[in-house]
Structure 1
Amino acid sequence: MEAFLVSTGLVALAEMGDKTQLLSLLLAARFRKPWPIVAGIFVSTVANHALAGAVGAWVTNVLGQQTLRWILGASFIAMAAWMLIPDKLDDDEADTEGSHLGVFATTVVAFFLAEMGDKTQVATVMLAARFHAWAQVVAGTTLGMMLANAPVVWFGDRLVRKVPIRLVHGVSAVIFLLLGAAALAGVGS
């Protein structure tokens, strides 16, 4: 249960102000069809995070426990620093004009590509390696993505303007820093 809850909370926080949250806002404004957009976000996230979680589970089997502890500690600390860098939506990712795909397929493809190498994908790899609980981590990170992105699709701009993104990113950075320090100290190993 700890893996699920930590994964949900971390990804929900990490996703605030992230480019995929901006992509959610863009898709909602462009298509104005929230249900297929939310369904596309869900399908894309499950696929992307299942792959990332599998990589994390594989890494735990390949590396020794001591090596993994140091890599995870350093990775969580690096993630804390990365949380303090604001995301922007790249112009090529924002271009849904002229797409011949439907709303659902456009969302699946755009989200899957936007998540490649993103903070939440990297966090999913690290969390799966840390907790040795692929299914719980993938379920938690997927729920965290949905908690952060689905309201943006439905409530859009009003919601994003009321959330102090810098504060959310700061809290996320502190949590990742604490997880990194705990991993380096061998807590929970």
Structure 2
Amino acid sequence: MEAFLVSSGIVALAEMGDKTQLLALVLAARFRKPVPIILGILIATLFNHAFAGAVGHAVTQLLGPDVLRWVLGLSFLLMAGWILIPDKIDDDDTRVASRYGVFGATLIAFFLAEMGDKTQVATVALAAHYANFISVVAGTTVGMLLANVPAVLVGNKIANRIPLKLVHGVAAGLFVILGLLTLFNVGNLLPQ
């Protein structure tokens, strides 16, 4: 349960103001059909984060416990810094042929925008940290939905009221805590 809750919380916070959240806002404004957009986000995230979780799980099999501890600890600390850098949406992220429909356009655009994104990298690190693939992927997917569904449903009305610097600061703080706990192996947090 810890893997699910931590993964959900970190990704939900990390996603606030992220380019994929901005993409969700753009898609909602462009198509004005929330259900296929939300389904596209869900399916794209499941595929993307399942891949990232598999990479994270494979990393635990390839590296010894001491190397893994340093790689994960430093990765969490780097994520803390990366999360503080504001994202911008690229025009290429929103250019998807209209022939794919709202669902298809969302699925493709969201999947591509999430490749190499902060939350995908976080999913790799979380899956390596918590040797529980299903809980991490489910958690990170729920975290993505927690951040993006409101963006789709209420758009700019709520986005302007959320203090993104505070949210990013809290997410960065969580990554710092995870990084330090991992580096110092507090509570033997590494997978066995």
TM-score in terms of structure 1 length: 0.98
The count of residues paired between Structure 1 and Structure 2 equals: 188
Superposed CA deviations along residues 93-128 of structure 1, whole A, max 9, x for unmatched, are 1234x5221000000000000000000000000000
Q: 1:92: how far off?
A: 1.1
Superposed CA deviations along residues 108-161 of structure 1, whole A, max 9, x for unmatched, are 000000000000000000000000000000000000000000111010001101
Counterparts of 1:168-179 in structure 2, within 5 Å, are 168-179=167-178
Corresponding residue for residue 126 of structure 1: 125
Superposed CA deviations along residues 6-38 of structure 1, whole A, max 9, x for unmatched, are 000000000000000000000000000000000
Corresponding residue for residue 154 of structure 1: 153
Question: Is residue 18 of structure 2 the alignment partner of residue 26 of structure 1?
Answer: no
- What is the identity, as a one-letter code, of the residue corresponding to 1:135? I
Once superposed, which parts of structure 1, at least 4 consecutive aligned residues long, lie more than 4 Å away? Answer: none
CA distance in 2 between counterparts of 1:55 and 1:94 reads 27
CA distance in 2 between counterparts of 1:157 and 1:44 reads 23
Corresponding residue for residue 40 of structure 2: 40
Corresponding residue for residue 142 of structure 2: 143
Corresponding residue for residue 108 of structure 1: 107
- What is the identity, as a one-letter code, of the residue corresponding to 2:165? R
CA distance in 1 between counterparts of 2:144 and 2:46 reads 10
Unaligned runs of 5+ in 2: none
CA distance in 1 between counterparts of 2:37 and 2:29 reads 11
CA distance in 2 between counterparts of 1:124 and 1:159 reads 26
- What is the identity, as a one-letter code, of the residue corresponding to 2:3? A
- What is the identity, as a one-letter code, of the residue corresponding to 1:91? D
Corresponding residue for residue 61 of structure 1: 61
Q: 1:91: how far off?
A: 1.5
- What is the identity, as a one-letter code, of the residue corresponding to 2:153? W
- What is the identity, as a one-letter code, of the residue corresponding to 1:162? R
Q: SS state of the match for residue 162, structure 1?
A: coil
- What is the identity, as a one-letter code, of the residue corresponding to 1:15? E
CA distance in 2 between counterparts of 1:94 and 1:102 reads 13
Unaligned runs of 5+ in 1: none
